[in-house]
Chains A and B, each alone.
Chain A
Amino acid sequence: MGRRFALLRALGLRPLRRHAGRTLLTLLGVAAGVAVYVGIDLAAESSIRSFSTAARAVAGGASLRIHHRPLALPESLLLRLRPFEGKADLMPTLEALARAHEADGPAFTILGVDLIGDPRVRGAIPWAVGAATPAGGAGPTAGGDPLVAVRALFDPGTLYVPAPLADQLEAGRPSGATRSDSITAVVGTRPYRFRIARIAPPPGSETSVAAPVAFLDLAPFQERFGRIGELDWIDVEPRSGVDPDSLRREIAARLANDVRIEPPEERARMLERMLGSYRRNLRALSLISLVVGMLLAYNALLSTVLQRRSEISLLRALGAGRALVAALIGVEGWIVGLLGGVLGVLLGRGLAEGALALVSRTVSDLYARSSPMAPRLTAGEWALGVSLGVASAAVAAYGPVREALRVRPLEFAREEHPDAPESDAAPRRLLVAAAAATLALWLIAHPRGIGEGVRGYVGAAAALLAGTLAARPFFTAVARLARAPLRRLWSPAGRLAAATAIAARRRLSVSVAALLLSYAIVWGMASLVESFRVTVDAWAGSTLRADLWITPQSRAGSPAEGTMPASWSARLAALPEVADVDAFRVREIAIGGDLCFLGAGRSDVLARHGFLPLVDRRDAAPLLRRLPNARLALVSEPLARRRRLAPGMRLSLDTPTGRHDYGILAVYRDYSSDRGYVILDRTTYRADFGDSLVSTYALYLKPGIPRSAGAAAAARAVGPGELIRVTDTRTIREEVRRVMRRTFAVTDALEIVAAAVALLSVLGTLAALVLTRRREIGALRAIGASRLQVVRALLLEAALLALSGLLLGALTGCLLGGVLVHVLNRESFGWTLALAMPWRRTAILAAALFVAALLAALPPARRAAAVPPREAMSRA
């Protein structure tokens, strides 16, 4: 046993050390793949976790939530719930989304709760100061007058802020601020001054970090925010022994159909489901990087095998079994996989920090407020990373091990060229490649709705498989085609290059494959980003036509945050600078378990000035004119795809005036949200929802009026006390683009990683290529080839290799781009994009890779050519 290990050490581990450079390259390949996967996954996980925590924080662990979102509940509803007071804690709650006034300060939620009785704040609010003293201690407490302490809780000027948020608010305050214990919170368009009372984070620990929440008692909340008589929801926590389901049924029976009763995390769950597609998208992209890393490892391992052929055959001749040979190669792969996995997880953790900002911005942009939480490297993540490392090394080692097993015992003794017997099985490869490409094309031509998931993975895998399989036939074909020109131009080096390329096509095609895959991945991702850019630019340019947009200053994310009064409409319309005003209302609604937006605007104004691109390319204006005073709706493309909605169908919505059916007139393109919109006319919305508030005012200015003049007039009309943001269209379009850029920032980052891996793989393979052919080079030199000729031949060979890799990579990249744009993106977000090719970017990269290939081949070629022929030939 011991001897066997000694052998393993000698033959398995020593080469690792001897070829430290190559080993390092393999290691880096595996690690890079793992790191990207782990990094992106960690970032997505922590940003989604922070979002979930935020969404659930308010739940405080209650089992049920009674609500009527997006509408408020009358507080008198509690009277009808009195019979349940013995069975459950009832926790009336109000919510306001706020933002610290100070220069884009942090966004947070103000919850209105019963500060003296709500179990959710028990232990956090000063009323219970006595209770907060450690049990058993006899230390003095606040003691004193109970009523004075209680009265402070109803003070309209005091906001109870958990310490972590208080720190955050203090950090964001301008240094000149005088009173350090007070802040201005902007809710809607109004500033509210509060004194901060620090409290311990309420039980549920994490929540205060991810979900900045501050508390106000119900009374001051209703009074200050003008919500007298209203509640946003009532959380219900059954007492022990009370079955939540039957309680829910009983409450439902008592409240009839007026409200909804569901677990409080229902909303979070809906959003999480939508985030799931985003995460799937990221995963698919990061899995691709794993493939690239794997290729790098494969390449390096195969070089090892080829270089050690004689050694292996000697071992076999000495009686080593196939198992031992497999173990020898395997151990290298295994160690590299393990180390690469560990290294990858560590790198991934670092990568996650960087990716986190990108990912959580996107989560905030597209889904819900969330502030990033530190990535959490769990045991699961470690296990995943290391096993991905080992698995990718194992997959990468499969080919090399098979190659090693093919080595015959006495091969070393014969004058067999290691690369000599090469069978191509070209037709079979080409057939499978064609089949894979066909599959990818078929998927591109038959996109499905949102949430199908696997089709994107399958398509991407098929595209990459097609390219990989086609690598050898393609390379062979290129080499054959190049034979004549090469011979003509650089004979004898050209002839040599073509001949050796064809002879060594099997090995070289591995390098070709590595290069082409990396390049294709860059190409595919870049074309996804480019398609997005082109499509959204065109969309934003054509649809966002109003000159100015007025939004509440407190809005931090969702367009449903913050409102403005309807009365501004008349004031703004009366301005001499203004031609037309559209008052747009956005609310969150649930449609069949999907949380989307309900938008209501003035369709007459939109028909006059705006442009709404319909999916079926009809003219939207006549349809828009039919919307007022009718239960008709438009739906956005992502929603239509997700819910499989089409013109002519009916959509049921819960409203305060009952459940109504709305006929779908058309599906329109929208890239502002993948959650989807239902659009009603403002008249219909006001009648059915009894709500006249406005989320965004869009102003169309009279011809010749500068936007700055319009903005100033609008601000004056609204009044100096209102905290609004007036944005011109150019800025809005910029913002749309920025959101899109942020959405694909991760893709961009992955692209760079893929490009780096491509470069590494070129360097690695070409260096190895030269090194493994010392004997051959020696022979050439022995028969009279000059050093220059040898170097030139090697460089030409490298050029051939790079050229084929890049050409085929471009083809594969187009295919992959098609899959990403038409299948994966559509499944993840529901957007239709026009496929655009990233010509400039890919051309630059191609040039860089080509030059890198030549430069990479040069030093080893020169070194190899410099070795005296005799020495080279004797040192097999």
Chain B
Amino acid sequence: MREPRRRPRAAAPLAAALVVALAALASTAPNGAPAAAPFDPMNARDATRFPRAHGAHPGAALEWWYVTGIASDPDGRRMGFEVTFFRAAVAPRVKGASAWRPGDLYFAHFALTDLTARYFRYDERIGRESVALAGADSTDLDVRIRDWSLRRESDGSLELRAAGSPGTLSLRLEPARPIPVAWGPEYRSDKSADGRTFSRYQSYPRLRASGTFAAPGDSARPLVGSAWFDHEWSDGGADPAMAGWDWFGLRLAGGRSVMIYRLRDRSGETTHLFGGIVERDGRVRRLLPEQVTLTPLRRWSSPRSGARYPIGWRVTLSPPDAPEIRLTLEAALEDQELVTARSTRVTYWEGVVEGEAIEAGAVEGVEGYLELTGYAGGGWPGAGARPAR
């Protein structure tokens, strides 16, 4: 699923920004430090050995861990949540330097869409890899910025915690299978049509989510639902023509999951598309660009950024040797835009979408997350993003 060329997701704007920044930084590392050792952080071994692959990949310029999901409490109150951790390398570590001189910076976003009360709130964090306060383990999944954290427990479940203006979220996420889904061989995900840049991309598209959520000033209420987890890292490098991307992470009621990642250029044309369908049995069917048709149905203009986001979609999937699947998707709430001036400095839309899928006359419900980047401000996502508050 998600995985077109460049960095997908919210990470993408950031990624793009970071990538360029990184190039500059690497060449002018503070204190004239020597460049990092000739170790390839993108090696396949560190992507395929678990649990090591879950951990951070120091040396890789960019990395993120991404959780989106939809859950409801016993009263039937439904909510969508997004919690993302980004790691960005700033400079190589220098011997004798302060432990506070960051090799890596960490950013995090936490957004909540209350589908019952119909509101959207988000918060953000920034931190540096240092003595404490922020960091990630490189042997297993354990990433944190102050009290926001995502950690893999010994039983293979993920523990997610975030607290901020949306409220306090504490979830246990259980994957259906221990090993994450690979959208390409050795988790490789090309980020351009020519394959010159790529990332390693791993997903748990369907996690059983259980835990609690406490709205601000409210007591914690139990929550049950399902979630999507992505982990992706790359060594930077971006297609200068890229203007942004659209990402779909969808769960069909029948048990299948769909990921589509599309990169756009400035004129809005698709420069690269990548996707896949995860069958009920866990098998992944890859989707080629010509097997996916994306048609925007409706746009929403943000009063803050002025960006016009396509928040209603018709998606047609035509896998070979299988019936066509037609999906109709609509944002559960129009305003699910994040202006992340205090962390990644990227303005993007990421929110709950709902709809139905029709396959050979049979209809099933669909829910999931849609990410739209590069719509706020000119240029490619990241550098051009103008957080306008």
Contact = CB atoms under 8 A, between A and B. Distances in A.
A75 B131 contact: yes
Contacts of A89: 146
B224 interface: no
A145 interface: yes
Interface in B1-44: 14, 17-18, 20-22, 24-25, 30
Contacts of A848: none
B386 A223 contact: no
B101 A154 contact: yes
Contacts of B14: 146
A131 B345 CA distance: 10
Contacts of B389: 130-131, 133-137, 141
B105 A116 contact: yes
A389 interface: no
Interface residues of B, number: 55
Interface in B295-322: 304-306
B32 to A, nearest CB: 13
B17 A145 contact: yes
A143 B385 contact: yes
Contacts of B30: 151, 154-156
Nearest to A150: B105
B344 interface: yes
Contact of B128 (A117, A131, A140, A141): A117
Interface in B316-370: 339, 341-346
Interface string B56-89: 0000000000000000000000000000000010
B161 interface: yes
A131 B342 contact: yes
A139 B341 CA distance: 13
Interface of A: 75-76, 78-79, 81-82, 85-87, 89-90, 92, 114, 116-117, 122, 127-131, 133-141, 143-151, 154-156, 217-223, 228-229, 239
A86 B149 CA distance: 10
Interface stretch (B92-100, B192-200, B241-249, B256-264): B92-100
Q: Which of B30, B133, B134, B346 has the most CB of A within 10 A?
A: B133
Contacts of B388: 133, 137-141
Given A117-B134, A218-B130, A219-B100, 16 more contacts: A85-B147, A92-B133, A114-B100, A117-B127, A131-B389, A137-B389, A143-B385, A144-B383, A146-B14, A146-B17, A146-B21, A147-B105, A148-B24, A154-B102, A219-B98, A220-B98
Given A116-B127, A116-B128, A90 B133 contact: yes
Q: Is the interface of B mostly helix, strand, loop or mixed?
A: loop
B288 interface: no
Contact of A143 (B18, B91, B345): B345
B25 A228 contact: no
B105 A114 contact: no
Interface string B203-236: 0000000000000000000000000000000000
A311 B125 CA distance: 84
A229 B99 CA distance: 7
Nearest to A76: B131
Interface in B137-151: 144-147
Contacts of B126: 116-117, 127, 150
B387 interface: yes
Contacts of B305: 138
Contacts of A136: 304, 389
Nearest to A91: B133
A114 B128 contact: yes
B377 interface: yes
Contacts of B147: 85-87, 239
Given A81-B132, A144-B383, A150-B90, A217 B100 contact: yes
Nearest to B20: A145
11 contacts: A85-B133, A85-B147, A92-B131, A114-B130, A114-B133, A116-B127, A131-B389, A139-B388, A151-B90, A221-B98, A239-B163
B17 A138 contact: no
Contacts of A114: 100, 128, 130, 133
Contact of B377 (A82, A87, A143): A143
Contacts of A87: 147
Given A218-B98, A222-B100, A130 B341 contact: yes
B387 A143 contact: yes
A683 to B, nearest CB: 32
A774 to B, nearest CB: 82
A220 B97 CA distance: 9
Contacts of B98: 218-223, 228
A127 B345 CA distance: 9
Q: Which of A137, A149, A151, A217 has the most CB of B within 10 A?
A: A151
A149 to B, nearest CB: 8
A130 B133 contact: no
Interface string B102-140: 100101000000000000000001111011111000000
A119 to B, nearest CB: 10
B86 to A, nearest CB: 10
A130 B344 CA distance: 11
A628 B128 CA distance: 47
Nearest to A128: B342
A325 to B, nearest CB: 67
B21 A145 contact: yes
